Structure 1
Amino acid sequence: MTNMYSSGESGAGTQGLTDAPAGARAGRLGAKDVVFFVIAAAAPLGFAVGSTPLAIGRGGIGTAGMFLVVGVLLAIFAVGYTAMTRFVPNAGALFSYIAAGLGRPLGLGTAFVAVLAYAIAATGAIGPFAVFASQALASMTGVQTSWVPWAFGALAAMGVLGVLNVELNIRVLGVIMVVEVVVLIVLSVAIVFAGGAEGLSLQPFRPDTVVGGEIGVVLLFVFAAFAGFEATALFREEVRNPVATVRKATFASIGLIAVFQALVTWAIVQGFGSSAVAVANEKPTEMFTMAASQYVGTGFADVITLLVVGSWFASILAFHNATARYLYALGRDRAINPVFAKKSKRSGSVWVASLAHTLFSAIVLLFCVWQGLDPYLDLFIVGSVPVAVSIPAMELLTAISIIAFFWRDSRGVSWWEGKVAPAISAVALAVFVYFVLSNLPMFTGREGAINWILPSINLVALALGISRALWMRRHRPAEYQLIGHWGER
């Protein structure tokens, strides 16, 4: 989280950097720990089973190659992003960088959007968790249950773990993430050793195949697999050697997600051969378990069914922690009520921020139950529209802010780091945002006003943040100077 620096006083900045915000003592975490958080938030197994078939069915087998394309472009973005780490010595991540490059009002507006995005991502993930948990119980015991108790059970677990120290959460996320990765590797290897359904082919990686399908839909799904990688900077106050650790964790997260998801997607396509697209359209939720039954065994399919539940819970917990960190940052900068910056004296956790998001999730779930909404199609798919738009849009603003920041003063940073790489990524991210917006009807499965109302929620949050910053500049100038404060380390 951002530090509550006194403007122009380096001593205050140094003191702030020793104040670890979320339950871990400063300097306790390494790059591996941060990567655990990012990849767990990406829910490797949950994404593979729940989203990859939809991408294949609607966009084609080139989905596998698109993971590598998006990975390369985000790695280029990360060049400038990690360069900023040396000159923005706080854990505000995107909003601090935008404040440094494009001004505090836009920076605070982005912070409000970021809080909304992570809060919705965590709450929305409760939907598929509840659905898959109910299905898992039914498939193994024959007992049919509603999604509702599973959803509120996940909510309670999220709330409890959220107020405990971050090191416990890393262990929980790490174990779940490692197991689900191993399961996907076993399935992929089994398909490859069997030679697939019709022999192995590299066609999914051919450029004409990658861009030959519904590229907008594929980009929308594939980009979602990387959601949260930028959160590496949120942990800079809790890691050893922040600049080097954040850089390593950022590139490692992008690389691992890109290569892993590309290979898993390629393998599942090989498992069905020429019928892969048809199966993905007809039985998307069963595609991976069907492959597991055929190439490994029915028992292994049951294991996947169970682990998908754990994968979604890991995603819930990771995004919940990111939400709490942003709320803590805003509270400590006095951009919102400072009560959100309160920490537990016993564990050091930001318990007020954590409980605030838990309450938000409870209200959303109660509304879904009251209205009889579908936990997957409504709560997760439709509900995630603001996130699908806001994350690439925030990264686009960050890329532009990096250019602006280093254009004024290169600070010894190379042209590649400070200008060329950010410019390339800005163009690429602008294309991403365009495709996301233009393909929302296909993503939501709905027509009409909802496809512009939902993305517009981000504009409301942005306007509120900008208005708050302008108000602070006029009425609380000293606190205004604390918004996303940056300086030389």
Structure 2
Amino acid sequence: MTNLSSTGDGGTTSLREGASSSVGGRLSARDVVFFVVAAAAPLGFAVGSTPLAIGRGGIGTAGMFLVVGAFLAIFAVGYTAMTRFVPNAGALSSYIAAGLGRPLGLGTAFVAVLAYAIAATGAIGPFAVFASQALTSITGISTPWEPWAFGALAAMGILGVLNVELNIRVLGIIMLVEVAVLVVLATGILAAGGAEGLSLQPFRPDAIVGGEIGVVLLVVFAAFAGFEATALFREEARDPVATVRKATFASIALIAVFQAFVTWAIIEAFGGAAVSVANEKPTEMFTLAAGQYIGAGFAEVITLLVVGSWFASILAFHNATARYLYALGRDRAISPLFARRSARTGSAWIASLSHTAFSAVVLVFCAMQGLDPYLDLFVVGSVPVAVSIPAMEMLTAVAVFAFFWRDRRGVSSWEGLIAPAISALALAAVVYFVLSNIPLFTGREGAINWMLPSINLAVLATGIARALWMRRHRSAAYLSIGHWGER
């Protein structure tokens, strides 16, 4: 995720990663990869989300990570080419503004903020579930989810106002620990031969496309959320073009291969019962495997680390939400109130508190309605995000194609036209499959399955309308759309 660095006197501001100053503004590709992969919370995602894909989409989930990785690698060809010519911090929305126009760019920025906000709030659900499970596992004391959820909410709000963030080194350490734990578990499962002997069936094409492909895509794409953040480190990189390019492809490859490996191992741990276990005990699937193949103590370690992983994800997405609200407020795309900073901490405190208030309303609603923090708050609530991620990437691919169609700017046909066109078509197919399979993912019937994705369209339309109003009434502010972080 990104954060806004600024001078203490309210002067120049820019969107940049807070830890960059700690490494002297000389980030290597490895530094950037550490940040991106760690922010993706590999342990939290594996334990909290992978069972959903297995349960609702089948064992082909393991192979789908590699397929999606290949799609995104093609997408990254045009994306990294674009960073040479649009080097500001808006990432996807800036590229869309450059290729398809400022109104659509601002609309996409609004959708991106919504995605970050929902992701942070939704992550409180699994955090509360795993925290409650951890206490029960260690002490035998059973607690409801609500105290954990509201405790996480309070911690998120306080740390957000205090401008406390996890820098690259801290995230890197957390990521290494998470990866090590998952590697130990996967190795133990595979060394034991799994439940029924090892099989490569999860990587066969018929298994990958044989299940509910839209559901699997919906979950798997979430594992790669944030890989585009590599472009946001351009100013801090030793060699901007080379570093961004290497970090982008490395991040995609690492996430794809690692999550495919871990998912394959957890499927092998239960053999033919993997799908039923994923459906019946999704939040316990990994700890059950850890207890069986490694030991009860290791299962408790996973439970504790998952809690920390989810909180790191909550804080990262909260900070990203606040920083983008700050940037939009500073550029008068939304109320300038969101651009107010604390004189003491430098935090975007109104933006931070606004998201905290949003999360509080959602949690109170869930508690009053007796909703499940995992199946309702996290799973059902994540639908707008799961749709918006591939949709924004699809629009970006189209924007890259349009940008280089008008002027090749010396890039090759593969980088500027062919790869963006292929990825746009592939991502359009992904969006179609995801939308077609939402009922299977949510486990719900009726209007909710079209109302949730429609939130993105409403927010997109609001952003476009705002841009058109700015073009008519605030031309200077309108011209800054797509150039967030350059001032």
Q: Does 1:147 align with 2:145?
A: yes
In structure 2, the partner of 1:397 is 395
In structure 1, the partner of 2:204 is 206
Which of 236, 257, 260 is the matching residue for 2:258?
260
Name the CA distance, whole Å, in 2 between partners of 1:241 and 1:167: 25
SS at match of 1:92: coil
Deviation, structure 1 residue 278:
3.1
Deviation, structure 1 residue 19:
7.6
Q: Does 1:74 align with 2:72?
A: yes
Name the CA distance, whole Å, in 1 between partners of 2:481 and 2:258: 37
In structure 1, the partner of 2:216 is 218
In structure 2, the partner of 1:87 is 85
Name the CA distance, whole Å, in 2 between partners of 1:65 and 1:423: 24
Contact 2:60 2:211 in 1 (8 A): yes
Letter in 1 for 2:64: M
CA RMSD of aligned residues (A): 2.5
Letter in 2 for 1:302: E
Name the CA distance, whole Å, in 1 between partners of 2:471 and 2:332: 12
Contact 1:52 1:265 in 2 (8 A): yes
Q: Given the superposition, is the C-alpha separation of residues 21 and 277 from structure 1 closer, same or farther in structure 2, using an over 3 Å criterion?
A: closer
Deviation, structure 1 residue 231:
2.7
Deviation, structure 1 residue 150:
1.0
Letter in 2 for 1:328: Y
In structure 1, the partner of 2:274 is 276
Sequence identity of aligned pairs in percent? 80
Deviation, structure 1 residue 54:
2.4
In structure 2, the partner of 1:306 is 304
Q: Given the superposition, is the C-alpha separation of residues 239 and 349 from structure 1 closer, same or farther in structure 2, using an over 3 Å criterion?
A: farther
What CA deviation, in whole Å up to 9, does each residue of 1:244-296 have, x standing for no partner?
A: 33323322221111000000011112222233223323333222112111211
> TM-score, structure 1 length as denominator?
0.91
Contact 1:229 1:253 in 2 (8 A): yes
Q: Map of 1:1-400 to 2, 5 A cutoff?
A: 20=16, 25=21, 27=25, 29-164=27-162, 168-344=166-342, 348-400=346-398
Contact 1:22 1:350 in 2 (8 A): no
Name the CA distance, whole Å, in 2 between partners of 1:239 and 1:38: 14
Name the CA distance, whole Å, in 1 between partners of 2:253 and 2:270: 26
In structure 1, the partner of 2:7 is none
Deviation, structure 1 residue 69:
0.5
Which of 459, 462, 469 is the matching residue for 2:467?
469
Deviates more, 1:36-45 or 1:161-170: 161-170
Q: Given the superposition, is the C-alpha separation of residues 358 and 487 from structure 1 closer, same or farther in structure 2, using an over 3 Å criterion?
A: closer
Letter in 1 for 2:180: V
Letter in 2 for 1:74: L
In structure 2, the partner of 1:412 is 410
Contact 1:68 1:259 in 2 (8 A): yes
Structure 1 gaps of 5+ residues are 4-14
Name the CA distance, whole Å, in 2 between partners of 1:238 and 1:340: 26
In structure 2, the partner of 1:7 is none
Contact 2:50 2:219 in 1 (8 A): yes
Letter in 1 for 2:230: T
Deviation, structure 1 residue 238:
4.7
Deviation, structure 1 residue 457:
0.7
Contact 2:327 2:485 in 1 (8 A): no
What CA deviation, in whole Å up to 9, does each residue of 1:396-433 have, x standing for no partner?
A: 11100000001000111111111111111101110110
SS at match of 1:384: helix
Contact 1:2 1:90 in 2 (8 A): no
Q: Given the superposition, is the C-alpha separation of residues 86 and 50 from structure 1 closer, same or farther in structure 2, using an over 3 Å criterion?
A: same
Name the CA distance, whole Å, in 1 between partners of 2:83 and 2:454: 31
In structure 1, the partner of 2:435 is 437
Deviation, structure 1 residue 218:
1.5
Name the CA distance, whole Å, in 1 between partners of 2:150 and 2:305: 19
Deviation, structure 1 residue 168:
4.0
Q: Map of 1:448-467 to 2, 5 A cutoff?
A: 448-467=446-465
